[in-house]
Amino acid sequence: MKFCSQCGETVGRKVPEGDNRERFVCDACDTVHYQNPRIVTGCLATWEDRVLLARRAIEPRAGYWTLPAGFLENGETPAAGAARETLEEAVAEVEIIDLYTLFSLPHISQVYCFYRATLPEPRFAAGAESTDVRLFAEHEIPWEELAFPVIRDTLQFYFQDRARGHYEMRARDLIFERRR
């Protein structure tokens, strides 16, 4: 961050009075600019015994498979955002069941929320951020072509839970060293 969104002057990094960590603070008007984690929300959508995956058309990881997901918008619940992202990326309407996985990735300042959902009918297509969208049976999942570890983990949890006949919500902190 270089300029203040309040007055347009330059910002610097310092610990504001009464705070305990360094923030961007305007040199002129003293506005504190907080930078907080981004929330990514999406769906593990199923039709019968198959899971809906989208092949990414955008970076990062263009060409790799993912669950339809993206950044939460202001004024939106995570579940509504998950349904919206599935519609945008896979042109698929879903019925949300429940929050299924929650991953905190502090090294990239993101929190991922995946919801279990069902497709009322197997209608889907590639959206603007996808090159392909398909339904996969468990044995067809392209494990080596999954875009992110949180996608792999969510799918593994799902297939384990499905085999047991009981789905449980999981929360994990994934601690990695930040790449430079």
Please tell me the predicted confidence (pLDDT) of residue 179: 57
Q: Where are the domains of the chain?
A: 1-35, 38-173
Whether domain 38-173 has CATH 3.90.79.10: the reply is yes
What's the token pair of residue 17?
């009075």
Please tell me the predicted confidence (pLDDT) of residue 39: 98
Please tell me the predicted confidence (pLDDT) of residue 176: 82
Inter-residue contact 42 to 69 (CB < 8 Å): yes
Please tell me the predicted confidence (pLDDT) of residue 32: 96
Please tell me the predicted confidence (pLDDT) of residue 180: 52
Beta strands in the chain (DSSP E): 11-14, 23-26, 32-33, 38-47, 50-56, 65-66, 69-71, 95-105, 110-118, 130-136, 170-173
Please tell me the predicted confidence (pLDDT) of residue 178: 59
Positions in the chain whose pLDDT score sits under 70: 177-180
How many residues can be counted in the chain? Answer: 180
Inter-residue contact 89 to 65 (CB < 8 Å): no
How many whole angstroms separate alpha carbon 44 and alpha carbon 48? 13
Express each pLDDT in 36-59 by its tens digit.
999 999 999 999 999 999 999 999
Structural fold of domain 1-35: Ubiquitin Ligase Nedd4; Chain: W; (2.20.70)
